[in-house]
A and B are shown apart, each in its own frame.
Chain A
Amino acid sequence: MNDIISLNLEDQIGLLETKKISSYELTTLYLENIKENKDLNCFISVNEDALEQAKVIDNLKDRQSPVQGIPIAHKDIFCVKGHRTTCGSKMLENFISPYSSTVFEKLENSKTIMLGKTNMDEFAMGSSNETSFFGKVKNPINPLKSPGGSSGGSAAAVKANLCAFATGTDTGGSIRQPASFCGITGIKPTYGRVSRWGMIAFASSLDQAGIFARSALDSAIALEIISGFDEKDSTSINSKVPNLKEETTSEMEHSIGVPMQIIEKIEDVNVKNNFLESIKILEKNGFKTKQIELPFLEYSLPSYYVIAPAECSANLSRYDGIKFGYRCDNPKDLEDLYVRTRSEGFGEEVKKRILIGTYCLSAGYFDAYYIKAQKIRAMITESFKNAFKDVSVIAMPTCSNGAFELGSIQDPVKMYEQDIYTIPANLAGLPAISIPSGNTEEMPLGLQFIGNHLEEGKILNISHQFQKLTDYHV
């Protein structure tokens, strides 16, 4: 029976459809496993109503959605009406949202069961899940290692079979890097493909919701559900969502772009060889590859670490102790209320980024930092545009290393470098996916495919084909 919870989404759907298992039974299995794996600290809150909801869904006469009855987990960045939504922060430790995010609603309307809300770096700022107010998450493969971040709870939950799939968000790599560390599939779609309504903002122009699952095909099924135009989000794209499952499994030819200049600079030999090995597998199986140039990509990281903090410095101003969230005890005046609420309510990493962002936007520094970063961003977007004239997808490693030991990276810049290969897709707003591609020192590595604007189907397709050729994801 325990094997059921590790089955692919497709197989679980099959069992539910043929009534070989009920949603209640499936939910029970997952809840039991969550309890058993409490030490991993994947969940900030577990949904006490999950079983009741599963019962209700089991009683429905017919199946209204392919994922009906599937137990899933949501990153605790998505507002869920009547539920605690903490964003991994003391600031929102007791915040009960009065409304629901579009992502949650779409999955709720598809009759999935929310098992709980997963742990994450505070306000999605971090690459190791160590900045969470609710404690670090442990990597299920090796509990001494980090699951990556910021969506580490979701990634670890999928890996440890604590849910069928999970939602996450990716501002600079927060889906793909943890997917890579935990050896699962994680996709961040095109910016604007999924509504940001009700998803607590870190950096508005970069934040995008996505999916963690056991395979590209599972991801495709889940991603299609959460995608689509939402009038509540002005930046969401008004474009029809394709049948992603069909695109993922269809016969598709690819021309894979490989930015060799970047690959050659990879310091970790294992990572480099692993990537080249993956390319070889693809080539051997008839996929065309092409060397491409992606100029200015080396400026992604500095540009990102200006834009993201700048936006976060404004986005996090609302946590001021006035209307909701944490408020310090006995403030003596307004100034004291602000200063102590924010000093006590935010963790160190969040405060650091607010300060960096405030500084970058200040009079006299704005042009040198923010404007310059935006120019670089435009150039990077342009260089991707040019590259996609010749290729259908671009391949890169997801991360320059495998999962590191919890507590081992203390230098913040070293931590920021975790995002070096994932940030470019966020800056350009492009869809990108990370799939398992083998191991280094017994920890998984990820292969990343970046697609052109709105071409999630292509990166899912190439990932699916790779997963048909390999068994790293199993």
Chain B
Amino acid sequence: MSEKTEYGDWEPVIGLEIHVQLSTESKIFSNAPTKFGIEQNSQASIIDLGLPGVLPVLNEKVIEMAVKFGCSINAEISNTAIFARKNYFYPDLPKGYQISQLDDPIVGQGSVEIECNKEKKLIGITRAHLEEDAGKSIHDKYDSSSAIDLNRAGTPLLEIVSEPDLRSAKEAVAYLKKIHSIVTFLDISDGDMSQGSLRCDANVSIRKKGESEYGCRTEIKNINSFKFVEKAINFEILRQIKIKNLNKEIEQETRLYDSQKNETRSMRSKEHANDYRYFPEPDLVPLQISNEYIENIRKSLPELPEQKISRFCSEYGLSIYESEILNSSKEMSNFFEEVAISVKDVKTAVKWILGDFSAILNKNNCLVEDSLISSSDLVDLLNCLNENKISGPAAKKVLEILWNEDLKVEEIIEKENLIQISDEDDISRIISEVISKNPKQLEQFKKGKEKLFGFFVGQVMKTTEGSADPKVVNKILKEKLNQ
């Protein structure tokens, strides 16, 4: 069932707030490292702990990263961005306020193009601002009390706020994937959703198709996978439709998605919404970002997925479909290009990367960045194939062995005796032997049973243990049988 029919005559309106963890070495306001998964509270400096008298100092790397993002979505960059304090009490928020941005965020309005159900659509981005992450509360470790891990406190985040331009859960996922690919291609985030490097809140409302007013919205907090984004939003849309169909009103509230039960549930209502009492952060001076600085970054932006997709098409003769798959991640894109520039025949490379190579990754539940076969190994293999040194089936065998053993392509070919016989004289001699050993079949063939051609090919291959070049075998066998 498609989403369109699922929603009936209701139209969902969705906006996403995406939190992207910037991949800096140290935190946004202290020099503590930002590693994931290390011993609790071991990388919280006195600044991250918010001790009396400490002061924040901005890690300038984050400005560069935010400006990079702004340039890649064609947004206005603020020359005088300011930080603000967002006040609320929570045990994992050490200072009792979060340093964030309200007025004059570093990245202003921009947009990205997404594709969903083969339709292209421009999604507006309202703003993107810098802020510090909070720590983590751990509620399930001790019986009667909660624990706090402040390792994450002060990790730099870029919060990207979209316009309410998304109309289905699928569009929301497409948009999220788009942002994911931009930030990873820009190398400003590792985009690892399982480690919380990218997480999002979704604002969801519904209205009757054709209406221009927005309905009352709910906000779903902290969704941390592509799959859950789709599920959570769809659950919420259907929940709202159900309420509306009963002629009841949607309550403006914050909801939490429970991925185990696949449902959203109320966290706090509007009446209990926080008044964050934002005001300019007096411990930091306004940023001074010159146009020259912005232009230098704009000029040195790395290639973004869209540009890469079209370049791969024109430069390597790929179809758009092939190019899109090969650009589905920065790592895949890089892997392909490493192979493409070194192989003799790119077409074969595309076929192999999308085919057998991807299959082997999938089989081993592995991403390309964790591949046990390097791009140079694959280049060696493909070049052997192109030079007719080995056959296609032999190449598949080599690929398997490459994955499982620490051997070079040449070594495998030699060890497994996979060198293809392409010499016409050699093959001619073998064919003559095969024909003379099978006079019965020769006779039947001559009488018109042409199917037996395959039998002869098989016999040649059997004799050569599959190492004869099939093209040459075909050619000479044809000549000999028709003599």
Contact (Cβ within 8 A) B58 A234: yes
- What residues on B are CB-neighbors of A79 within 8 Å? 51-53
Contact (Cβ within 8 A) B54 A311: no
Bound Cα distance A293, B74 (Å): 50
Interface of B is mostly: loop
Binds A, one of B89-97, B347-355, B371-379: B89-97
Bound Cα distance A314, B57 (Å): 18
Q: Mark A91-103, 1 if CB is under 8 A from B, else 0.
A: 0100101110100
Bound Cα distance A226, B220 (Å): 51
| Residues of A that sit less than 8 Å from B by CB | 78-79, 85, 87, 92, 95, 97-99, 101, 196-201, 203-205, 231-235, 310-311, 313-314, 316-318, 320, 322-325, 334, 338, 358, 361-363, 366, 370
Bound Cα distance A358, B85 (Å): 13
Taking CB atoms and an 8 Å cut-off, the chain B residues in 35-49 that contact chain A are: 46, 49
Contact (Cβ within 8 A) A98 B46: yes
A335 to chain B, nearest CB (A): 9
Contact (Cβ within 8 A) B52 A234: no
Interface of A is mostly: loop
Q: Can you identify 28 A-B contacts, CB atoms within 8 angstroms?
A: A79-B53, A92-B52, A98-B46, A99-B51, A196-B53, A198-B53, A201-B52, A231-B57, A234-B55, A234-B58, A235-B55, A235-B282, A310-B279, A311-B279, A314-B87, A316-B96, A317-B97, A318-B50, A318-B96, A320-B96, A322-B91, A323-B148, A324-B49, A324-B52, A338-B89, A361-B87, A362-B277, A363-B275
Contact (Cβ within 8 A) A234 B279: no
- What residues on B are CB-neighbors of A78 within 8 Å? 53
Taking CB atoms and an 8 Å cut-off, the chain B residues in 226-281 that contact chain A are: 275, 277-279
Contact (Cβ within 8 A) B282 A232: no
Contact (Cβ within 8 A) B283 A234: yes
Taking CB atoms and an 8 Å cut-off, the chain B residues in 276-297 that contact chain A are: 277-279, 282-285
B interface residues, how many (CB within 8 angstroms): 28
B404 to chain A, nearest CB (A): 51
Contact (Cβ within 8 A) A101 B51: no
Other-chain contact of B51, A98, A233, A362 (Cβ < 8 Å): A98
Contact (Cβ within 8 A) B55 A233: yes
Q: What number of A-B contacts does a CB cutoff of 8 Å give? A: 104
Assess A314 versus B279: contact at CB under 8 Å? Given A98-B46, A322-B91, A322-B148: yes
Which chain B residue has the least Cβ–Cβ distance from A204? Answer: B282
Contact (Cβ within 8 A) A361 B285: no
A137 to chain B, nearest CB (A): 21
Which chain B residue has the least Cβ–Cβ distance from A342? Answer: B89
Which chain B residue has the least Cβ–Cβ distance from A374? Answer: B280
- What residues on B are CB-neighbors of A231 within 8 Å? 57
Does B56 lie at the interface of the complex (its beta carbon under 8 Å from any beta carbon of A)?
Answer: yes
Contact (Cβ within 8 A) B52 A317: no
Bound Cα distance A201, B97 (Å): 14
Other-chain contact of B282, A101, A205, A313, A366 (Cβ < 8 Å): A205
A424 to chain B, nearest CB (A): 18
- What residues on A are CB-neighbors of B85 within 8 Å? 314
Contact (Cβ within 8 A) A201 B91: no
